[in-house]
């Protein structure tokens, strides 16, 4: 059942990507708070990814993908191509679709202003935020292997999780902090790639030969559209769960790109550092290079920074949507209330009773409801989609 739902959702999303790109090919898109292309991509990149990007490849994924005896579905290509396919290129079209929608169409149709839709959307944002915090807490023993026994969640990890949420809430109090942290995190990630590359003693020739494995993704790109396995299905549901909220948040920063430029930028630019990162880590995997010590701490610090980036953008989004702002309640109440809410929910979701597949299913339902609303109720407004700049925030 869940496989059918996610397959339908993915096919619907890609069909809408194709339709919007063709129909509004040269439409110029400008959000209410436009920024440069680099800053926009930095905000998108750091908001839409979390610590899993840093830790999962070496800790879990490459070993799983290489075990084709257990998972024969992975046998058509190599682990690097699979990792890139789960995180890069085609999958970023989801974010294009929602960013385009919230910049060009939503201001005219106001679907997400409908009270029940608004409530549901913000519940998705809050629960996904807390669910991400719960996963961060659950897997922290693996991320910070130097602390504890590598398996048990010790009190120090609860403190770290609380501090991460607190810093994210503080960052969300002003949109300029979100921008600055996103750009700084992007440079920090690039620095981590260079450090891990140098730490591995990897030459340019070795990098190029390892990176060539990514070609296995592009030659089999059609196989990544619908779920390969339950694990791939989990990834696709995760991308869907995040897609509306990330598109809604990042659309405000689009700075005059045309539709095709936005699609190209979102699919290509983030995929370059992702490809470099996965290539370096794949070399570690192939050569069995240990990461204990400074390398693991470097990855942990950058991973935690990514978690903070994801949190602050989502906190900023739902507090804006629900008018739970600093201006309304004051900084102390804003910080204390949001920190307490998310930390309590993180502890509640630690048992993993909330499944990301459920959240993704709700989001797919919102896609369908929005499409029907636009076609049946607001179809005439599509003729007014002209890319006029939205009012500044």
3-state class (DSSP) for residue 30? strand
Cα–Cα distance for residue pair 393/385, rounded to 1 Å: 20
**pLDDT for residue 391 is more than 60:** no
- pLDDT (0 to 100) of residue 390: 45
- pLDDT (0 to 100) of residue 61: 92
Lowest-pLDDT choice from 173-177, 198-202, 315-319, 372-376? 173-177
pLDDT per position as a tens digit, 68-118: 999 999 999 999 999 999 999 999 999 999 999 999 999 999 999 999 999
- For 279, list phi and psi in degrees, rounded to 5: -65, -45
pLDDT per position as a tens digit, 124-135: 999 888 888 888
pLDDT bin (cut points 50, 70, 90) of residue 393 is very low
- The burial of 101, by beta-carbon neighbours within 10 Å (0-12 exposed, 13-18 middle, 19 or more buried), is given as buried
The continuous run of DSSP H or E covering 258 comes out as strand 255-258
Q: Tell me the pLDDT of the chain averaged across its residues.
A: 90
Cα–Cα distance for residue pair 253/250, rounded to 1 Å: 6
Q: What percent of the chain has pLDDT over 70?
A: 97
Beta bridge partners of 258: 28
- pLDDT (0 to 100) of residue 386: 63
**Residue linked to tokens 């059609």:** 222
Q: What percent of the chain has pLDDT over 90?
A: 64
- pLDDT (0 to 100) of residue 315: 92
pLDDT per position as a tens digit, 339-375: 999 999 888 888 777 788 888 999 999 999 999 999 9
Cα–Cα distance for residue pair 311/167, rounded to 1 Å: 9
pLDDT per position as a tens digit, 164-198: 999 999 999 988 888 888 889 999 999 999 999 99
Residue 211 CB neighbours (<10 A): 18
């Amino acid at each position: 059942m869940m496989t059918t739902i996610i397959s339908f959702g993915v096919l619907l999303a890609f069909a809408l990507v194709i339709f919007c790109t063709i129909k509004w090919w040269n439409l110029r898109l400008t959000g209410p708070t436009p920024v440069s292309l680099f800053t926009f991509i930095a905000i998108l990149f750091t908001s839409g990814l979390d610590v899993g990007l840093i830790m999962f490849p070496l800790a879990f994924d490459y070993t799983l993908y290489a075990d084709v005896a257990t998972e024969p579905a992975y046998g058509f290509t190599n682990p690097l191509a699979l990792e890139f396919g789960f995180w890069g290129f085609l999958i970023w079209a989801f974010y294009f679709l929602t960013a385009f929608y919230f910049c060009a169409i939503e201001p005219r149709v106001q679907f997400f202003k409908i009270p029940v839709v608004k409530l549901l959307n913000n519940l998705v944002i809050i629960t996904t935020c807390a669910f991400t915090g719960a996963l961060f807490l659950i897997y922290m023993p693996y991320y910070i292997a130097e602390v504890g026994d590598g398996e048990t969640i010790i009190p120090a990890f609860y403190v770290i999780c609380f501090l991460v949420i607190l810093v994210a809430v503080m960052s969300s109090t002003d949109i300029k902090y979100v921008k600055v942290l996103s750009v700084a995190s992007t440079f920090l990630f690039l620095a981590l790639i260079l450090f891990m590359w140098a730490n591995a003693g990897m030459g340019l020739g070795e990098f190029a030969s390892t990176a060539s494995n990514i070609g296995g993704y592009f030659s089999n790109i059609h196989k990544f559209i619908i779920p390969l396995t339950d694990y791939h299905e989990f990834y696709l549901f995760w991308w869907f769960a995040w897609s509306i909220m990330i598109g809604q948040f990042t659309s405000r920063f689009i700075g005059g790109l045309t539709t095709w430029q936005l699609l190209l930028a979102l699919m290509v630019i983030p995929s370059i550092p992702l490809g470099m990162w996965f290539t370096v880590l794949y070399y570690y995997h192939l050569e069995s290079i240990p990461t204990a010590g400074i390398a693991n701490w470097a990855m942990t610090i950058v991973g935690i920074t990514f978690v903070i980036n994801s949190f602050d953008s989502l906190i900023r989004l739902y507090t804006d949507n629900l008018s739970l702002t600093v201006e309304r309640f004051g900084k102390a109440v804003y910080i204390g209330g949001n920190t307490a809410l998310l930390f309590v929910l993180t502890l509640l979701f630690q048992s993993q009773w909330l499944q990301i597949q459920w959240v993704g299913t709700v989001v797919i339902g919102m896609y369908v409801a929005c499409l029907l609303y636009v076609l049946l109720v607001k179809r005439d407004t599509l003729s007014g989609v002209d890319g006029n700049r939205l009012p500044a925030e």
